[in-house]
Structure 1
Amino acid sequence: MEALILFIAKSGGLLILFYLAYYFLLRKETFFTSNRWFLLAGLITSVVLPFIVYTQIVWVDPTPAPVSDYNYDTTYFPQQTIQEESFEINWNYVSLGIYALGLAAFLIKIGIDFYSLNSVLKGKEVQQQADFKLIDINENIAPFSYFDYIVYNSSMFSEAELENILEHEKVHSDQDHTVDVLISRVFCALFWFNPVMWLYKKAILQNLEFIADSEATKKISDKKAYQYTLLKITTHESCVAITNHFYQSLIKKRIVMLNKNQSKKTNYWKYYAVIPALVAFVLIFQIETIAQEKKAIEKEIAEKEQSVDVYKIKKTTTDQELKEMGEKLKQNHNVDVAVSNVKRNNKSELTAISVEVKRGNEQIQNIDIDGDGEAIKDFGIVVATNDDGSKDINVVTSDDEMNGVSVSNKQRIILSDNSVAPVAPIAGMTPPTPPAPPVFPAGALPPAPAIDMSKMPKPPVAPINMKDKVAVTKFEKEMAEFEKKMEAFEPNLEAMEAYGEEIEKIMSQREAIFEKEMEKYEIAMEQFNANMEKFGQYSEKNYGPDSKQFEMDMRELEKNMRQHELDMKQHEKDMKQHEKDMKLNERELKRMEREKRRS
């Protein structure tokens, strides 16, 4: 029961995450097809990701068994008090029951919708046109498509209008938009209690209409006639629920999106903005930590016995001996040794050699020796096998000093999955200074254009009976007057759209600048953390934790860290101010949209 509740909570959280990413980043972009796959990916992720759990094992010291110093008298048994069980409501089962009732109700609703659809299609004459099945009905129902079926009432539309409608519905049918509709309905039934799911479904349906409008207008010569058809269909509110129908309650948004300029390809980065949030979700909720007791260690690591193999390379080592050494390392320790750049003098002594030590795809060490014509000093590859099977591999010289030797990785590498390689200290280090975080670019935004939305003309209402010639003639005259008024008002809409694009362009430029600065800052922070670790090791090794110099270094480091905390607080303050500015700008745009709705 608890597992079911946890799954529902995680799935609901993922749905909210994808919906917010779509609403704030993608809904105003013209990447309609990409938005379709993004929204479907959100539904799939919300169901699949909660089942993906990573297990992390933490080794803990064994807990000693408690030892009691008391002797118990087994002949005495204290009197036991039997308490009557009180009735308690199991709220888990109550919640499960309520959820089951809601799920059953919505599944029944889906069944009723299928029955209604079957009633409309049953017994109707089907006209095959390419891959589409056209059905002309007499009912006053908005045109719709269901898989390869396209249903319409030809008596309600002119020939040109019917052509626009069919092109629109063919896009729905050809791209299998019915699948998206059915999936969204099923998810609404599963997550009926989550209001975001209903908003998510609305976003899916809206985006499908944007896709159909965009593709249909590519095949239609008169784009304005298509928009007039949208306005005319607004009077036909009767539709079948589980289908893609030509009428939607978002005619204004569809017309706006039809006339909107294509989004820039650089805005594709917005699709990847959800990835950090998904990674955080996995790290926080999908990693299961299991504690296991480790066996008691009889001896300290320093006292462990090691099996040590030394493969020595002298100035007189022959090529055959080098080959045999590589074969032995591979056979005994599964270590690959590549020898190159071999040079010898007239005495056949080695004057230069390069040795690369690898284990699988992991590079252990590189060593390049060049004696400038002189014979090289002896050096060797040392492999120490520990009791637990891990191996320490090092390249050393006779006096452990690299005269004429350039080692690309002087760190001691331990080929054990649980080991950590110590970092060599850097001499003469000073306490590192943390980098300052970037500040989001500020600046005033241009004022919004003053537009009186009350002057925006309202479209005429189409007659119910399209066979009434008087009503149709009157409607055509009203449409002609509406078109003239819209042409006069169009500069106001263009000004509003230009203002929105200008604001979006300014904020995109500022975000791009800030992101670049943040990338530089993250790299600087990684370097700072590495320097911090090296500095601590350096100070403790050279001065000791009890020395005055070590204490002074630590104070200086604490001072730098306090300054870093102040910088981070200022950074958080700047980001909060930026969020306030963005909310003010968003409220202004919403106000303008509300004025448009009122008109």
Structure 2
Amino acid sequence: MEAVFIYIAKSVVLMLLFYCVYFFLLRRETFFNSNRWFLLSGLIISSILPLLSYTKVIWIDAVPNLNTNIQSALLSAPEKQTSDINWSLIILGLYLIGFIIFLLKLAVDFYSLNSIIKGKKVKQQADFKFIDTPENIAPFSYFEYIVYNSSLYTASELENIIEHEKVHSDQNHTIDVLISRFFSIIFWFNPIVWLYKKAISQNLEFIADSEASKKISDKKAYQYTLLKITTHENCVAITNHFYQSLIKKRIVMLNKNQSKKRNSWKYYVVIPALAAFVILFQVEVIAKERQQTVKVSGETKSVDVYKIKKNSTDAELKEIKEKLKSIHNIDFEASEIKRDSHNNLTSIKIDIKNGNQKTQSIQTSSETIEEFGILVITDKEGKKKVGIQTSEEGKTSKTSKVAVSKKIKNTKSDTDSDQASDSHIIITNNPNSKTDTHVNINSFTSTKTNSDTNTDISTVVTTDSDSKTLTKVITVGGKTKVAISNSGKNNNLSGNPLIIFDGEEMPSTFNLKNIDSQNIESISVFKGVEAVAKYGEKGSNGVIEIESKR
């Protein structure tokens, strides 16, 4: 509904622009035929131009994830109370009432015209059809029909009238009248359209007077005929009728000297105004995030990030596919795409293939998916690695991310049982759910999370045939995340991982055992592509972020 109101407002502005140019600059000029096309062009442009727009893409740098704090605050703000009255429907109802009334008036006028023409004797002469009617009405023309009452005029007067109406019929002025009439019905609420309609009808009379006077020897007799016709007040609304109320203006224009050609510059005044309208209102600016490129100091490594958001369009997904293929020779396919009524993504499956490495991400949601990205890391030798970057939630939702690359102990009771395989498990705990997580350097212990069963799920699966690894990440409801990585060989972090405690980098001798687990707010572990993307070369052995309960 808002789009309709915007269209109407733009159309009214354009119509006002053309009318003002005509009224202040052109109506006193004798360029009658040029004025005709100028006025018609104004109606057509005012109805079409608001529908046309030019899309301008502005590339911006990716916004840091810290902005999610602002987004979270905005989302949590109380919604404004909406009024029970739907003003859009009321306005639409009022418009339709007026539209129907004027449409019915048009139907009545057509019926009146048909009753005058139908059944009458028609005299054909060249391309004209003459009807001599006994009714006391003003002479008029309707396409090829010219209707008059010969008993009301002398022979010379009738000759003047017929010459005038022949001009209307020959130049198809009826089309102009109908166009202006239809516009006055559609935009009946706009006072400018009624002035515009009057200007069109008046200019058509100027044309007919000018052309008819060239074929008549006695111009004064023609003007007297104009005055005589003013006594006949019965006119057919949708026709070109000889009588118009502005007789004085018509006589003035008949005796006016021809305008000089140099005055035609006035028509071009509208061009810069239209250009300004297009620039101000018809250029749609779309901001797109520029692909992130992280240069690691001292090396020629880089990490490229291609973001997929909830409102990513099919065209944007296609653009990501083309860039991954052309820049990195990586195959990208998006399938199982589902959207809601607002065209936001609620489900998507991503398949990525980089040589022997394959990565798959499946996201489904009862609302909209969370933002994620395709990461491509290039080392100094030009080798590519690809991964999935998920949105960081640690700051806004105060979730806990825990990852340990040692043996796993699952406590379903008071007895612990060791698993034989080496694995990584990452669990993100919702602080609102009843979950206790205990961490130490050699084991991982967790209890079941009391979470809602009707949650959204996303899965990321990465396989690498060279190292025979399988990594699976499951996201439940955007709150609980479990990532399991199994391998035929040990997947532990090589070397000493980088430790960040409360935002500060700890020395390599820092011992995690010195931290009281009860004082830990959250722990996040980053490996591989994600670690390098965030911390550069220092994160090549992995990164452990720890936040205390301050």
Rounded to whole Å, the distance in 2 between the matches of 1:238 and 1:94 is: 38
Query: Partner letter of residue 212 of structure 2?
Result: A
CA deviations over 1:218-251 (Å, ceiling 9, x no partner): 1000000000000101100111000000000010
Question: Kindly tell me: are residues 200 and 64 of structure 1, through their superposed partners in 2, closer, same or farther at Cα, counting changes over 3 Å?
Answer: same
Match of 1:206 in 2: 202
Match of 1:163 in 2: 159
Rounded to whole Å, the distance in 2 between the matches of 1:122 and 1:247 is: 23
Rounded to whole Å, the distance in 2 between the matches of 1:140 and 1:225 is: 22
Query: Partner letter of residue 46 of structure 1?
Result: S
Match of 2:94 in 1: 98
Rounded to whole Å, the distance in 1 between the matches of 2:68 and 2:85 is: 41
Superposition deviation, residue 67 in structure 1: 9.7
* TM-score when normalising by structure 2: 0.51
Alignment of 1:143-158 (within 5 A): 143-158=139-154
More helix by share: 1
Rounded to whole Å, the distance in 1 between the matches of 2:134 and 2:6 is: 50
Match of 1:265 in 2: 261
Match of 2:313 in 1: none
CA deviations over 1:495-553 (Å, ceiling 9, x no partner): xxxxxxxxxxxxxxxxxxxxxxxxxxxxxxxxxxxxxxxxxxxxxxxxxxxxxxxxxxx
Rounded to whole Å, the distance in 1 between the matches of 2:272 and 2:29 is: 21
Alignment of 1:315-464 (within 5 A): none
Query: Partner letter of residue 13 of structure 2?
Result: G
Rounded to whole Å, the distance in 2 between the matches of 1:174 and 1:58 is: 53
Match of 1:255 in 2: 251
Among residues 165, 180, 184, which one is paired with 2:180 in the alignment? 184
Superposition deviation, residue 183 in structure 1: 0.3
Rounded to whole Å, the distance in 2 between the matches of 1:263 and 1:108 is: 42
Match of 1:22 in 2: 22
CA deviations over 1:360-390 (Å, ceiling 9, x no partner): xxxxxxxxxxxxxxxxxxxxxxxxxxx9xxx
Match of 1:108 in 2: 104
Rounded to whole Å, the distance in 1 between the matches of 2:277 and 2:98 is: 28
Among residues 222, 227, 232, which one is paired with 1:226 in the alignment? 222
Residue 286 of structure 2 aligns to a residue whose secondary structure is strand
Superposition deviation, residue 198 in structure 1: 0.3
Superposition deviation, residue 138 in structure 1: 0.4
CA deviations over 1:11-46 (Å, ceiling 9, x no partner): 000000000000000000000000000000000000
Match of 1:48 in 2: 48
Match of 1:390 in 2: none
Query: Partner letter of residue 154 of structure 1?
Result: S
Rounded to whole Å, the distance in 1 between the matches of 2:64 and 2:202 is: 64
Alignment of 1:290-329 (within 5 A): 290-299=286-295
Superposition deviation, residue 296 in structure 1: 1.7
Rounded to whole Å, the distance in 2 between the matches of 1:290 and 1:224 is: 64
Match of 2:37 in 1: 37
Alignment of 1:502-513 (within 5 A): none
Match of 2:9 in 1: 9
Identical-residue share of aligned pairs (%): 68
Question: Kindly tell me: are residues 86 and 50 of structure 1, through their superposed partners in 2, closer, same or farther at Cα, counting changes over 3 Å?
Answer: closer
Rounded to whole Å, the distance in 2 between the matches of 1:304 and 1:103 is: 68
Residue 289 of structure 1 aligns to a residue whose secondary structure is strand
Query: Partner letter of residue 269 of structure 1?
Result: W
Question: Kindly tell me: are residues 295 and 178 of structure 1, through their superposed partners in 2, closer, same or farther at Cα, counting changes over 3 Å?
Answer: same
Q: Structure 1 residue 173 and structure 2 residue 169: aligned?
A: yes
Superposition deviation, residue 63 in structure 1: 2.0
Question: Kindly tell me: are residues 293 and 119 of structure 1, through their superposed partners in 2, closer, same or farther at Cα, counting changes over 3 Å?
Answer: same
Question: Kindly tell me: are residues 109 and 304 of structure 1, through their superposed partners in 2, closer, same or farther at Cα, counting changes over 3 Å?
Answer: farther
Rounded to whole Å, the distance in 1 between the matches of 2:195 and 2:67 is: 62
Superposition deviation, residue 64 in structure 1: 2.8
Query: Partner letter of residue 89 of structure 2?
Result: Y
Q: Structure 1 residue 285 and structure 2 residue 254: aligned?
A: no
Rounded to whole Å, the distance in 1 between the matches of 2:84 and 2:283 is: 34
Residue 298 of structure 1 aligns to a residue whose secondary structure is strand
* TM-score when normalising by structure 1: 0.47
Question: Kindly tell me: are residues 277 and 67 of structure 1, through their superposed partners in 2, closer, same or farther at Cα, counting changes over 3 Å?
Answer: closer
Rounded to whole Å, the distance in 1 between the matches of 2:283 and 2:148 is: 53
Superposition deviation, residue 60 in structure 1: 1.3
Match of 2:522 in 1: none
Match of 1:63 in 2: 63
CA deviations over 1:42-93 (Å, ceiling 9, x no partner): 0000011001101111111112334999xxxxxxxxxxxx99x986111111
Match of 1:380 in 2: none
Residue 259 of structure 2 aligns to a residue whose secondary structure is coil
Rounded to whole Å, the distance in 2 between the matches of 1:195 and 1:295 is: 51
Residue 271 of structure 2 aligns to a residue whose secondary structure is helix
Rounded to whole Å, the distance in 1 between the matches of 2:147 and 2:193 is: 29
More strand by share: 2
Question: Kindly tell me: are residues 214 and 292 of structure 1, through their superposed partners in 2, closer, same or farther at Cα, counting changes over 3 Å?
Answer: same
Report the RMSD for the aligned CA atoms in angstroms.
2.5
Question: Kindly tell me: are residues 230 and 64 of structure 1, through their superposed partners in 2, closer, same or farther at Cα, counting changes over 3 Å?
Answer: same
Rounded to whole Å, the distance in 2 between the matches of 1:18 and 1:67 is: 47
Superposition deviation, residue 299 in structure 1: 4.4
Query: Partner letter of residue 270 of structure 2?
Result: V
Structure showing greater Rg: 2
Number of aligned pairs?
293
Unaligned runs of 5+ in 2: 70-77, 302-377, 379-550
CA deviations over 1:416-444 (Å, ceiling 9, x no partner): xxxxxxxxxxxxxxxxxxxxxxxxxxxxx
Residue 294 of structure 2 aligns to a residue whose secondary structure is coil
Among residues 84, 90, 96, which one is paired with 1:88 in the alignment? 84
Alignment of 1:487-506 (within 5 A): none
